[in-house]
Each structure stands twice: as structure tokens, then as C-alpha cells.
């Protein structure tokens, strides 16, 4: 059964509820006449409606329609100036009204309250989504401002790092320049100078190098090198005596002494061979010390080497060519071609490159994101005819 049956009373109520129109149907019957005879035809009409509801079919004789062309305007001899009007049987209208009434009666009274509750809930959801959309938009604006501020701060920090690097290089250069007139003498036995280091150096230069007439501003012995397992600089057994730092009045005098020492090569005090070298900052010494083992290996392969300022390694190859490595990490990589493994401290992290890699440049998204998508999806759902009333 498609629809429940109707009673005669319901048919009579439907007919009495119709307007008293004088317009007739295809059988020239108007609604006024139907109201007058309804009590006579209510039983067969009720039977026909119930049978139609039960079988789901509509009587063929009620499908007859009379079409009358009504002139709209213009030339009456042109058929497009007419509109068709269909005159349906009055029983068809009653059948439709009864069916409409029956359909509405099938909705329980309690469901209307549920629909109202759902309508209020959806309205509340729309308001909450609107508030969320506003809050998300505000959050996105703040995030965009934060991103812009972060980008600007990253740029400032990169500039600060560049300035710091430049200042460190200048500071290193100043340290090196301040030591240009200095000379270091290694392996001089402890206490050889007795109580006067300057007089000892004058005498030493005269006796061993035959140099006189130089002016020494000051001279002192640096801290000795301790054994590998030592923890204190002064106590402990020194592996080698501390070097002597000599400062001359001019760079020319220092170079004169250094060249004379390098020319003579074998200089000794009490069977201890003495070495002369430039006076470098501690960082330069640290970098140069990484070449010590490598130079021994290269010497065994008949490859001459020289350390250039500040810590460049120069190789003199057998074919007359030379190769220069600018720093220990570069040398460690380049010496692999010679089958030599060099241990060097890792390069300091490039903070500028790290900042540039970590710096984000996220495009500013338009206001509305997931909240707008949710609102759009909800509106799409509410486009169905059954839910159109929720948009009002």
C-alpha cells in the first residue's frame, strides 16, 4: 500500500475547502456543482481514491484534458500569440488534493518540533562557523605578520653575522699585524737566559748568527708545552721547553734575523737544535698544527711542503708544479687524491647559510581557509530543496 486510505469525511472536507469557482473542467463541470452533489458522489469517489492509493495507479478516464488556446496579444492569425490552457476533470483535482492532504497527514505532529530544533541547531552552527571564520582570519593575519617579522629579523641577523665575521677577520688580522715584529725561538733549554732574557738574545744572535746592531724591545719565554697526559701548564714534565718570543724594533730587523737563521739551519745550544719561526696568533698555530702528521707522510713520498700564511699548505710536486690548499679542511679533501688521510677539525657551521635555509617566505593566504571550506560545504548541502528553508 502506497498511502493509507481516506474516509468520506475527509473527501467532504477537501471539497468544502475548495474555492467556489465558476470555471468548468473538460466536462463543463465547475466546483460549485461538485459541492452541491458531493454527498451523492462521495462514496464512489472515496472508493476510487482508495483504490488508486492501494494500487498506485490513476484512472485513465481521469487523465483526459481539454486544451483551449487563449489569445495573448498581437495578430490573432499567428499561433505563437496564443497560450494553451488545460482543463482537467474535477475528480482529478479532488484526487490531487486528497493525496496532498494524505501526504501531509503522514508527517507526525512530533516531527515538526524536530524540524524546528534542527533548524535552530543549523542556524547556531552557521553562527559558530562565522565566528570561527573570523577568528581564523584574525589568526592568519597575525601569522602573516609574524612571518614577515621573522623574515625581517632573519635578514637583520644575517647582517649581524656578516658584521661579526668581518670583525673577527679584522681582529685576527690586527693580531697578526701586531706580531709582525715578533720572532719565536724554539727548543732553547730552560734557564739558559739566567736572569736577563734580552741580554741573552743579544749574545745568542751575535754568537750563533753573527748579527749585531739590532734593537730588541722585549723578550720573554712563553709557557712550555706539557706532555700529552698533562693537565696543568706549568707543573708536569714538559715535552719541550717553552718558546722564546722576541720583539724587535722593526719588521726589517726581525726578517734579517729570521732569514739568517733559516740560511744557517743547524743552530744548537747544548746539543739542542734551535728553530726560528714567525710569531702567529693561537688560532693560526692551531690550524698549522693539523699539518704536522701529513707533512711527515708527504716527506716520506719525496713531496716537499711549505706552510704559507695563515694556514695554507703548499705542495711542490715532482713534475715542477705546485698545489696550494687554502685551509686544513680543503687540504684533507685534496690529499685524498694522493692516498693520504688527514684528520682535521670539522668546519665551523655556516650560520648564515643555516638561517637562509631556515628562513621561510610563506605566501600570505587570503582570509578564509578551512572555515570557509566548511561553510561552503554546508551551504552546498543546504541547497537541496528539502532544506532550503534553513537558509532563510
Residues 153 and 185 in one domain: no
The pLDDT of residue 376: 52
Segments of the chain assigned E as strands: 66-71, 82-87, 182-186, 216-221, 225-226, 238-240, 244-248, 267-269, 272-278, 304-308, 312-316, 322-325
Q: Mark whether 337 and 366 lie in a shared domain.
A: no
- Tell whether 329 and 185 lie within a shared domain: yes
Mean pLDDT, residues 363-375:
48
Confidence at residue 104, expressed as pLDDT on a 0 to 100 scale:
56
pLDDT at 362: 44
3-state secondary structure of 119: helix
Instruction: Flag whether 373 is in a domain.
Output: yes
Instruction: Tell me if 1 is assigned to some domain.
Output: no
The strand order across the sheet containing 216-221 reads 216-221, 244-248, 182-186, 272-278, 267-269
Tell me the average pLDDT across 131-159: 89
pTM, 2 dp: 0.49
Residue 365 pLDDT > 60: no
For residue 111, is it within any domain? no
Domain containing 282 — which CATH number?
A: 3.30.70.1820
Poorest-pLDDT segment among 151-160, 223-232, 344-353: 223-232
| Among candidate residues 76, 106, 136, the one where a domain is terminated | 106
Residues 65 and 126 in one domain: no
Same-domain status, 188 and 284: yes
pLDDT, one tens digit per residue, over 228-270 is 444 444 455 556 788 999 999 999 999 999 999 999 989 999 8
| Residue 324: inside a domain | yes
pLDDT for residue 229: 42
Answer yes or no: are the C-beta atoms of 195 and 220 closer than 8 Å.
Answer: no
pLDDT at 191 over 70: yes
Mark whether 189 and 238 lie in a shared domain.
Answer: yes
Same-domain pairing of 238 and 289: yes
What pLDDT does 38 receive?
A: 85
> What percent of the chain has pLDDT above 90?
27
pLDDT grade, residue 313 (50/70/90)? very high
Shared domain for 269 and 280, answered yes or no, is yes
Q: Which residues contact 250 (CB under 8 A, 6 or more apart)?
A: 181, 215
Ranges 57-66, 144-153, 239-248, 313-322: which has the least confidence: 57-66
Task: Write down the pLDDT at residue 271.
Answer: 87
The segment with the largest mean pLDDT, out of 81-85, 277-281, 355-359, is: 277-281
136 domain residue, yes or no:
yes
For residues 205 and 329, state if they share a domain: yes
Report whether pLDDT(224) > 80. Answer: no
Say whether both 66 and 130 belong to one domain.
no
Minimum mean pLDDT range among 115-124, 134-143, 264-273, 339-348: 339-348
pLDDT of amino acid 256: 94
Helical pair 8-16 and 31-55, crossing angle rounded to 10 deg: 140
The verdict on residue 112 lying in a domain is: no
At 390, the pLDDT band (50, 70, 90 cuts) reads very low
- pLDDT tens profile 288-307: 888 988 898 888 888 899 99
- Rounded Cα–Cα distance for residues 365 and 359 (Å): 18
In a domain, 30, yes or no: yes
Q: How far apart are CA 326 and CA 308, in angstroms?
A: 9
Same domain, 81 and 132: no
User: What integer pLDDT is reported at residue 232 of this predicted model?
Assistant: 42
Please report the pLDDT score of residue 136 as a whole number. 94
Q: Kindly tell me if the per-residue pLDDT of 351 is higher than 90.
A: no
Q: How far is CA 345 from CA 104, 251, 349, in A?
A: 88, 33, 12
In a domain, 161, yes or no: yes
Most confident of the following: 6-15, 39-48, 88-97, 136-145:
136-145
Q: How many domains is the chain built from?
A: 3
Q: Are 229 and 326 within one domain?
A: yes
What domain range includes position 260? 181-353
Q: State mean pLDDT over 273-279.
A: 93
Nearest to 271 by CA among 361, 370, 192, 162: 192
Rounded Cα gap, residues 95 and 91, in angstroms? 6
Domain final residue, candidates 42, 77, 106: 106
Amino acid at each position: 500500500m502506497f498511502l493509507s486510505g481516506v474516509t468520506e469525511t475527509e473527501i467532504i472536507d477537501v471539497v468544502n475547502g475548495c474555492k467556489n469557482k465558476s470555471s468548468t473542467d473538460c466536462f463543463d463541470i465547475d466546483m460549485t456543482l461538485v459541492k452541491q452533489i458531493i454527498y451523492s458522489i462521495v462514496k464512489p469517489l472515496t472508493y476510487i481514491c482508495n483504490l488508486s492509493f492501494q494500487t498506485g495507479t490513476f484512472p485513465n478516464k481521469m487523465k483526459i484534458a481539454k486544451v483551449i488556446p487563449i489569445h495573448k496579444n498581437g495578430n490573432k492569425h499567428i499561433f505563437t500569440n496564443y497560450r494553451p490552457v488545460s482543463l482537467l476533470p474535477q475528480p482529478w483535482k479532488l484526487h490531487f488534493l486528497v493525496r496532498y492532504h494524505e501526504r501531509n497527514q503522514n508527517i507526525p505532529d512530533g516531527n515538526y518540533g524536530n524540524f524546528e530544533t534542527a533548524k535552530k541547531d543549523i542556524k547556531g552552527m552557521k553562527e559558530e562557523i562565522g565566528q570561527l571564520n573570523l577568528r581564523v582570519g584574525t589568526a592568519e593575519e597575525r601569522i602573516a605578520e609574524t612571518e614577515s617579522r621573522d623574515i625581517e629579523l632573519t635578514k637583520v641577523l644575517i647582517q649581524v653575522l656578516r658584521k661579526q665575521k668581518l670583525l673577527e677577520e679584522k681582529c685576527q688580522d690586527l693580531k697578526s699585524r701586531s706580531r709582525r715584529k715578533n720572532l719565536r725561538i724554539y727548543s732553547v733549554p730552560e734557564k739558559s737566559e739566567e736572569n736577563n732574557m734580552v741580554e741573552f738574545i743579544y749574545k745568542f744572535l751575535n754568537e750563533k748568527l753573527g748579527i749585531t746592531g739590532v734593537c730588541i724591545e722585549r723578550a720573554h719565554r712563553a709557557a712550555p708545552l706539557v706532555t700529552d697526559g698533562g693537565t696543568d701548564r706549568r707543573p708536569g714534565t714538559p715535552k719541550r721547553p717553552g718558546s722564546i718570543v722576541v720583539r724587535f724594533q722593526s719588521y726589517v730587523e726581525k726578517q734579517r734575523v729570521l732569514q739568517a737563521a733559516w740560511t744557517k739551519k743547524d743552530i744548537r745550544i747544548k746539543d739542542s737544535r734551535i728553530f726560528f719561526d714567525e710569531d702567529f696568533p693561537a688560532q693560526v698555530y692551531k690550524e698549522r698544527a693539523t699539518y704536522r702528521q701529513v707533512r711527515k707522510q708527504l716527506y716520506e713520498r719525496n713531496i716537499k711542503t711549505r706552510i704559507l700564511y695563515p694556514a695554507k699548505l703548499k705542495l711542490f710536486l715532482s713534475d715542477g708544479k705546485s698545489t696550494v690548499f687554502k685551509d686544513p679542511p680543503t687540504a684533507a679533501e685534496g690529499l685524498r687524491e694522493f692516498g693520504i688521510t688527514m684528520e682535521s677539525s670539522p668546519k665551523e657551521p655556516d650560520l648564515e647559510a643555516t638561517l637562509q635555509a631556515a628562513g621561510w617566505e610563506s605566501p600570505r593566504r587570503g582570509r578564509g581557509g578551512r572555515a570557509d571550506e566548511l561553510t561552503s560545504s554546508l551551504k552546498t548541502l543546504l541547497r537541496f530543496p528539502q532544506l532550503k528553508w534553513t537558509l532563510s
